[in-house]
Amino acid sequence: MEKCVMVIDENLPLGIIANTAAIMGITLGKELPEVVGSDVHDKTGNVHLGIIEFPVPILKGNKEKIKELREKLYGVEFSDLTVVDFSDLAQQCKTYYEFIKKMKEVSEAELQYFGIAICGEKKKVNKLTGSMGLLR
């Protein structure tokens, strides 16, 4: 693992942006547990659970740019990257069962992505996202 970024639609409401980042971050932690550091102790002896060992920039995108990225990431050239996406369909579901059921009924072309996380070889991640600015 050399680089990890998240690209989130800057036009979404702040709460949805935060939710998108949180959900993708949890999934990255599941997929890449080795990037989460060990628990640490503060001076008073309190334990703080381990966090990711490197920065994860949040880049600004829009629904078209994120859709374009997602389509490229299905290609063979980028098959070695870890990719987490979060869509409008996922955000609308109340349960994971509902999400599974509804995903079986839609094509990828119908999904609108709120965000995408990409982790892997720095050169490949930069090729995809290097010109994108930080979401502020």
Structure tokens, 1? 């693992």
Q: Is the pLDDT of residue 122 over 80?
A: yes
Kindly report the average pLDDT of the chain as a whole number: 96
Neighbours of 16 (CB within 10 A): 17
Instruction: Encode 47-97 in three state secondary structure.
Output: EECCCECCCCCEEEECHHHHHHHHHHHCCHHHCCCEEEEEEHHHHHCCCHH
d(Cα 80, Cα 64) in Å, to the nearest integer?
Answer: 23
**pLDDT at residue number 86:** 98
Helix (H/G/I), strand (E/B), else coil: 39: coil
Model confidence at 1: pLDDT above 80: no
pLDDT band at 42 (very low <50, low <70, confident <90, very high): very high
Q: Is 90 exceeded by the pLDDT of residue 65?
A: yes
Q: pTM of the predicted model, to two decimals?
A: 0.93
Domains of the chain and CATH, by start:
3-129 (3.40.1490.10)
